[in-house]
Chain A
């Protein structure tokens, strides 16, 4: 029975246990589908609406990845700038923290006024919510460079750019990839929030319209689809992280 205690099967077992518990509660108390659908009802909704769900999730995936991509470019650039200049670090850090503590849903009405209903607010919300962890992590990676290492290179006449290129950037890559995993899941939060308010397409919109027509099972199906998409993207970036910055994770082996 070693598969029961193995860490590989643990996530599957836990997920199965929760689904079974969920089903058991719904069946035992005869909960109405309009309040809290059971897993079987959610699965049925998934099967019934496969076409629309696929269409809407493609849209959500697109807006999320687009917003995330902008977030990566912007976050990396800002992180490098902030991390390599103590002045810029002091100047911008409080502002960044203040900005990050604003709930991003508060930006959606503004974005609707500026860009109208559709994909643009969703992309921008995904961007706004996802860039902060990247900035902080890249800046931290650069700012914590060992002073001796900097001395070795500076004594050789290396420019600040040389040090950044040879040491700073490779060194901050593990921080960068760690932040990508956080950011991609946040990007989904951003795009879905925006879609529920300001779009005619996307999983967020699908869930909103399903809830207004009392199809609760479909709302839950939307939740499942969003979390599966986010998890798949997470896995992609975790894999990239191991491939590219494996050196940072092998110490223990």
Chain B
């Protein structure tokens, strides 16, 4: 199987003091695979995102994306975070267009093709149900709508790799499940590789092909779990035995990792 993202014995220390945020991470993600990374807080999930996007270079090891070693910002990635970080002085539409004003080759064409780009953004907003709200400002949208717009912004330049850092964590349960389906449909319509960092095990199992479980700091990959639930998946699936068993299995693995880390932490505290 060819891989789109490959980590080889990757370790990263932010301050070069020998304390690692992640350590010995080796993994491989296939093109157009939907991957979820779960683990206790502070396990270096966000660090993995920064490594993939080229915002950080590993202290040790090698990160390859799309066949090349990552040595700087990659323009083929889109990112969205828990905080929608929309620009309050731009309308929803203009917020979605922002990456096209920055990334080549769109940047050069932006003035000339503005209308075509705006149509493309409108189509994308339409698929997430925001077409009517394109001219509104972010502060006029609900949290869920802001997060939809944020995902559109991450996808407008048709990235090959979408990275999501707990994008639904701040939303209420119903909105969150609604957005799971939005993301599922976007991905099904036009596949791209996804790395979804989350605390929510149900979210991970519902959306992903593969779930990686990480240990507490320094983060290591504890488990690679293939989610073999048939697609297309419906929200109903979250109530089936197979689904619950998978969530349970992941939960147990994280629980034992937390327990194993606990005496360690107490010793350090003393």
Q: Chain A residues in contact with chain B, CB under 8 A?
A: 146, 148-149, 151-158, 162, 166-167, 170-171, 173, 245, 247-248, 250-251
Contact = CB atoms under 8 A, between A and B. Distances in A.
Contact of A156 (B81, B88, B99, B165): B99
Contact of A171 (B74, B77, B87, B102): B87
Contacts of A154: 55, 73
Given A146-B83, A166-B101, A166-B102, A155 B54 contact: yes
A155 B55 contact: yes
A153 B102 contact: yes
B139 interface: yes
Contact of A247 (B50, B74, B81, B89): B89
B83 A155 contact: no
Contacts of A173: 89
Contacts of B88: 247-248
A41 to B, nearest CB: 51
27 contacts: A146-B83, A148-B85, A149-B85, A151-B53, A151-B55, A151-B81, A152-B79, A152-B80, A152-B99, A155-B53, A155-B54, A155-B79, A156-B75, A156-B77, A156-B102, A157-B75, A157-B104, A166-B98, A166-B101, A166-B102, A167-B87, A171-B87, A171-B89, A173-B89, A248-B88, A248-B89, A250-B137
Contacts of B79: 151-152, 155
Contact of A251 (B89, B102, B139, B154): B139
A158 B101 CA distance: 10
Contacts of B139: 247, 250-251
Interface string B122-166: 000000000000000101000000000000011001000000010
B249 to A, nearest CB: 32
Given A152-B80, A154-B73, A250-B139, 12 more contacts: A146-B85, A148-B81, A155-B73, A156-B73, A156-B103, A156-B157, A158-B102, A162-B102, A166-B102, A171-B87, A173-B89, A248-B89
Contacts of A155: 53-55, 73-74, 77, 79
Contacts of A250: 137, 139
B102 A247 contact: no
B53 to A, nearest CB: 4
Of A149, A155, A247, A251, most B-chain CB atoms within 10 Å: A155
What 7 pairs across the A-B complex have the smallest Cβ distances?
A155-B53, A149-B85, A148-B81, A247-B89, A158-B102, A157-B73, A157-B75
Nearest to A155: B53
B44 to A, nearest CB: 16
Contacts of A170: 87, 89
Nearest to A153: B102
Contacts of B81: 148, 151-152
A157 B103 contact: yes
Contacts of B53: 151, 155
A172 B127 CA distance: 33
Q: Which of A146, A166, A173, A247 has the most CB of B within 10 A?
A: A247
Interface string B57-84: 0000000000000001111010111010
A154 B78 CA distance: 11
A167 B102 CA distance: 12
Contact of B137 (A149, A158, A167, A247): A247
A228 B239 CA distance: 71
Contacts of A151: 50, 53, 55, 79, 81
- Chain A CB within 10 A, most for which of B55, B73, B137: B73
A228 B75 CA distance: 55
A211 B104 CA distance: 68
